[in-house]
Structure 1
């Protein structure tokens, strides 16, 4: 399977994620040195769900990020446009209501959710601005958006080391553990090309989100943005 390119043609990105689905969670653990679990916990804490809250978990993949919401009694909907991811997720987590959907054309009514979250998926959306506008549409007034995404390390010497790892070591490690290692070349390139923390905050504001704020995780490798509808 050819890897996706940075123009992010939806069919190419979908095929890429279908191909990596089988060992996706394991690969993420290895490539992030286990940090991805902490980052997802930070997302959960930022949402601070209550029992009965309606939560849309976009780019949910196999549902790893959705499970904690279900465990506290929130009504979580894992949504992804990769059918391969959804199949793997449904086998592992049959109680979750996995839903196929494109972030730029969400299959939900206006004001459907108390919170929307998307972790490590916004940069793979073909039109992030359209995706952010759709997330705003399906969030009730006063509801929240939490975006967890790779960003730009804030300490320049560390940023240099990180980029070396991203572009050289990451694809090499992926070849040892992933079911479709070429996909991780695209993922590394997409991380490098993604806007910095302020750049993403500006995109959120342009899409109509209010009270935009962010904090860095792991020295800015990842940024957690939060906003209000």
Structure 2
């Protein structure tokens, strides 16, 4: 079993996700108390995929997050750097064009996608700015980005309770339901060290995105950031 460190070496993070691939979706459902399903519905609304559009779903894992875009009639490309996740996804969704790729060096041409999205994966990338620039590169002018990521609750008392859950309650729950509970200790630590909502918005702007905005979900446990590539 492996646990990634916060310097986010790609091989360590990929190996960690390889270990948890089989039970990843179920574990997330348990640890988030079912909230992850609501969060993904909000992502689908924000992406607003339409028939005939091309959507890149980065850090797609097993491809479960890509299903709403496919159901909307879009051509969706689930992309992830964990081969274990992709193999598990192939067992479940063999019809999806699951693609191996590094967020900082995407294997796609410039301006290919109408929308790009990444949920709960950006904080695991070693170079956040490089990933945001790559997403910008592969998006067509006028296209959009949607980022769903763990963030920081805005109400201080709630933030204290949440951080206690992350560091004290999450590890024993993870031991009960996950094949690699140490991986979820890393995930909790990576959430705590992640930039807050305004800081991520600034990173998006620095990467070239315009009309950047965000919306808090579940009191700021998760934030939904959006941006447009200027025409």
Fold in common (TM above 0.5): yes
Q: Shift of the alpha carbon at 1:42?
A: 0.4
**Deviations 1:64-119, CA, capped at 9 Å, x for gaps:** 11011111110000000000000001100111100000000000000010000000
Partner of residue 91, structure 1: 91
Counterparts in 2 of 1:11-22, with a 5 A limit? 11-22=11-22
Query: Is 2:82 the partner of 1:82?
Result: yes
CA RMSD of aligned residues (A): 0.5
Query: Is 2:50 the partner of 1:45?
Result: no
Q: Shift of the alpha carbon at 1:2?
A: 3.0
How far, CA to CA, are the matches of 2:60 and 2:168 in structure 1?
A: 27
How far, CA to CA, are the matches of 1:178 and 1:22 in structure 2?
A: 9
How far, CA to CA, are the matches of 1:128 and 1:33 in structure 2?
A: 28
How far, CA to CA, are the matches of 1:27 and 1:149 in structure 2?
A: 17
How far, CA to CA, are the matches of 1:105 and 1:118 in structure 2?
A: 15
Counterparts in 2 of 1:1-229, with a 5 A limit? 1-229=1-229
How far, CA to CA, are the matches of 1:66 and 1:167 in structure 2?
A: 30
Task: List gaps (5 residues or longer) in structure 1.
Answer: none
How far, CA to CA, are the matches of 1:172 and 1:79 in structure 2?
A: 31
How far, CA to CA, are the matches of 1:73 and 1:58 in structure 2?
A: 18
TM-score, length-normalised on structure 2? Answer: 0.98
Q: Shift of the alpha carbon at 1:169?
A: 0.7
How far, CA to CA, are the matches of 1:113 and 1:142 in structure 2?
A: 10
Contact 2:56 2:117 in 1 (8 A): yes
Displacement over 4 Å in runs of 4+: none
How far, CA to CA, are the matches of 1:72 and 1:92 in structure 2?
A: 19
Q: Shift of the alpha carbon at 1:197?
A: 0.3
- SS class of match (1:50): coil
How far, CA to CA, are the matches of 2:45 and 2:193 in structure 1?
A: 28
Task: List gaps (5 residues or longer) in structure 2.
Answer: none
TM-score, length-normalised on structure 1? Answer: 0.99
Q: Shift of the alpha carbon at 1:179?
A: 1.1
**Number of residue-to-residue matches in the alignment:** 229
